[in-house]
A = this chain, B = another copy of it.
């Protein structure tokens, strides 16, 4: 069996892969993020590709320079990037607590979109090599949050490392009215779409 590498430090992405029973290693990308587009779907696709390529390049280089020590193995590198989009604005992670409160006021009482881009880089001696990038979109409707509720939620510290300043799988759950689409895409990794993209490529994710 080959190796699966998650090119992300996000604990939530890690938990999702564990939840569905995939064996993997974590090797986060560290490079500078460069975007040339302002369209959310293009932004997340660019960033997921940069992350996956960076880690795949590093692993290839390491493998090439240690060829005498290692058994060559098939590799699958997964890169992902998630943003929140509202009013044609892209919300990434908040800079500080005031910025988190500003983002939550923008999202309160209405519907926004969450985009996650995924890039799968396949490195294989047996022919299944290539790069596949796609994105998934989910609509999220938030209930009205009062200033006091926003303040209370920001005080939990949860918004600080999350795109759009909220964690749907955390304490923000009480403010989510409904979603339309894939929940795990909002958490940060559309595992159902990944499984089926691989299946369409003739790859059983569990037997890679």
A residues with CB within 8 A of B: 16, 19-21, 138, 143, 156, 168-171, 173-184, 191-192, 195-196, 205
Q: Of B19, B156, B179, which one neighbours A183 at CB under 8 angstroms?
A: B179
Query: B residues within 8 A CB of A181?
Result: 178-179
Copies in the complex: 2
Compute how far the CA of A178 lies from the CA of B8 in the bound complex, rounded to whole angstroms: 24
Q: Of B21, B138, B173, which one neighbours A19 at CB under 8 angstroms?
A: B173
Between-chain CB contacts (< 8 Å), 17 pairs: A19-B171, A20-B170, A20-B171, A21-B156, A138-B178, A143-B192, A143-B196, A168-B183, A173-B184, A173-B191, A174-B191, A174-B195, A176-B192, A177-B192, A179-B180, A179-B183, A183-B183
Q: Of B16, B156, B175, B178, which one neighbours A180 at CB under 8 angstroms?
A: B178
